[in-house]
A and B are shown apart, each in its own frame.
Chain A
Amino acid sequence: MIFTHFKRITRTGFVNFWRNGFLSFSAVIVLTLSLGVFGALIFGSAFGRALIKEVKNKVDINVYFVLDAEEPDILALRKTIESLPEVEKVEYVSRDLALTEFKDKWKDNSLILQGLDEIGDNPFPAVLNIKAKEPSQYAGIATFLDSKNSLSKDGSNIVEKVNYNQNKLIIDRLGRIIPAVEKVGSIIAILLVIVAVIITFNTIRLIIFTSKDEISVMKLVGASNMYIRGPFVVSGIMYGIFSGILTLILLAAFAYYSDAIIMKFSGVQGAKDFSLLVNVFSSYFIQNFGQIFAIIMGSGIILGAISSYLAVKRYLRV
């Protein structure tokens, strides 16, 4: 009996969805717009994260060593720094490597290379490039480097210069701006989701309002609440499925054409400046398709089903 009921409810929901053509179309369009907001938030968040990561990557602390600093002392210091919990990565550039990189960079400029030859000895100090997990943690790392940990075994100071102070301004600003941007972004996202949910709910409520007489007739012939409500919930799920598919197609199209769109709006130079962000949407969409599919389809189906369920409720009191 339960199976028969389920079959009838599902069939009626499907039939109503197709027969209510224009109303179903309206619901699908409104729900697509709402899911589009969800999609925009997903992409916006991915873009924001990529942008923040990009900016964070451009910030680091460089520790320059005195020229006669012994490599074992430098490596020992590197090991100590790497053990700090706030440190994400420490890159060691030896004096020889620094010289090779310099020569490689200026291989086409004989004047500079000639000047280098005249100096005779390798003028480049060894460097440790330190990346923290968060911009706010650079101050702690700088303080650590100022302490006695930067002394060699025999007690002499091997650190020539730490460029934290030069980068301090941008690092401090980033430390303040990024959490604020994330906070404001979250609030805007929550507000947009609330607006989208309210608009969807009201549209479906209006559609079901047109069926209120039908619902009262169903009650009067003795249909149970579940039997009346079921087809509306099935139609709501159909709105969700169709709008989910439509939204995914639109998001895929946006992801595919996003590079051209960025290029068009930011110009060639702007696109160059954002060179590392090129493909951010398309690659994000491909890499996270399963998750995006689940969020968009799941939200659509849940939103459609719950809105229909609640909207029918008020007309069942006959």
Chain B
Amino acid sequence: MIYFDKVSKIYPDESKALDGISFGVEPNEFITIVGHSGAGKSTLMKMLIAEDRPTHGAVFFESANIHKLKKSQMNKLRRRIGMVFQDYRLIPNKTAYENIAFAMEASGHTENEIASDVPHVLELVDLGKKIWSFPHELSGGEKQRVAIARAIVTQPDIIIADEPTGNLDPVNTFEIIKILQKIHKLGTTVLLTTHNTGIIDEIGGRVITMEKGKIIKDDKHGKYVL
């Protein structure tokens, strides 16, 4: 489904964020990428949504080189990827409903689909009562649940969650992980980055350990090196 082919990212000051990374993602996998801050986890995620470009190598999504796609093709690809960020990245002047509806509108859904799917997805993340709340009226955990609802509402092929629990307390952290697991069980591929080893112990499954821009371990049974 996704393949990173010898991807390197070297910044103008010669620092290497990624150093010849190669690995593949199969459909319906739940992959946790673990590593300390600066290991290159977020840069790797940015490559996948073309928010950043590799210096060397290529990233393929179903045989298409992501960084060679035209603007319109890139927009279509991004609609197939749901993104969840550590800092939520909700649109501040839109309500929870509108933040989620926007992603559907961008994907070309009709008003009827939006009106039925948005409340449903908010119920799924247990935020049915906060449907008309603005982001500043929500707690960190609630904001992240809205962000997850936004990511899954268009039924993407893959969810990329970049340190989604980085700003959350332990209770909210495990709430978010449970939601991601539930989404995975419904058939969506999940790519999660974290530096929280407690999460990995909870999730299990395939774990990729990164250090200084390189993969130092890729284990199918939840083992990591930190």
Contact = CB atoms under 8 A, between A and B. Distances in A.
Interface of A: 1, 4, 8, 16, 19-20, 213-214, 216-225, 227, 318
Contact of A221 (B51, B92, B108, B150): B150
5 contacts: A213-B89, A222-B75, A222-B78, A222-B107, A224-B106
Given A16-B93, A19-B93, A220 B51 contact: yes
Interface string B96-134: 000000110111101100000000000000000000000
B105 A8 contact: yes
Nearest to A9: B105
A219 B75 CA distance: 8
B108 A220 contact: no
B63 interface: no
A20 B79 CA distance: 28
A222 B76 contact: yes
A124 to B, nearest CB: 82
Chain B, interface residues (CB within 8 Å), range: 20 to 34
Contact of A222 (B79, B89, B91, B111): B79
Q: Which 7 pairs of residues, A with B, have the shortest CB-CB distance?
A: A222-B79, A222-B78, A223-B106, A221-B103, A19-B93, A217-B89, A222-B75
Contacts, number: 53
Contact of B106 (A214, A221, A318): A221
Interface of B: 49, 51, 71-72, 75-79, 83, 89-93, 102-103, 105-108, 110-111, 150, 154
Contacts of A217: 89-91
**Dominant secondary structure of chain A at its interface with chain B:** helix
Contact of A225 (B71, B93, B110, B111): B71
Contacts of B76: 222
Contact of A220 (B72, B78, B111, B154): B78
The residue in B83, B90, B91, B111 that gathers the most chain A C-beta atoms within 10 A of its C-beta is B91
A223 B102 contact: yes
B181 to A, nearest CB: 23
Contact of B78 (A4, A213, A221, A225): A221
A223 B75 contact: yes
Which residue of B76, B92, B105 has the most chain A CB atoms within 10 A of its CB atom? B105
A22 B44 CA distance: 39
Contacts of A224: 72, 75, 106
A216 B90 CA distance: 11
Nearest to B71: A225
A232 to B, nearest CB: 12
Of the candidates B83, B102, B107, the one having the most CB atoms from chain A within 10 angstroms of its own CB is B102
Contacts of B78: 219-222
A218 B106 contact: yes
Contact of A218 (B51, B77, B102, B154): B102
Given A1-B108, A318-B51, A221 B93 contact: no
Contacts of B51: 216, 220, 318
B49 A220 contact: yes
A214 B92 contact: yes
Given A221-B107, A222-B107, 12 more contacts: A16-B93, A216-B89, A217-B90, A220-B49, A220-B83, A220-B89, A221-B83, A221-B102, A221-B154, A222-B75, A222-B76, A223-B75
Nearest to B80: A222
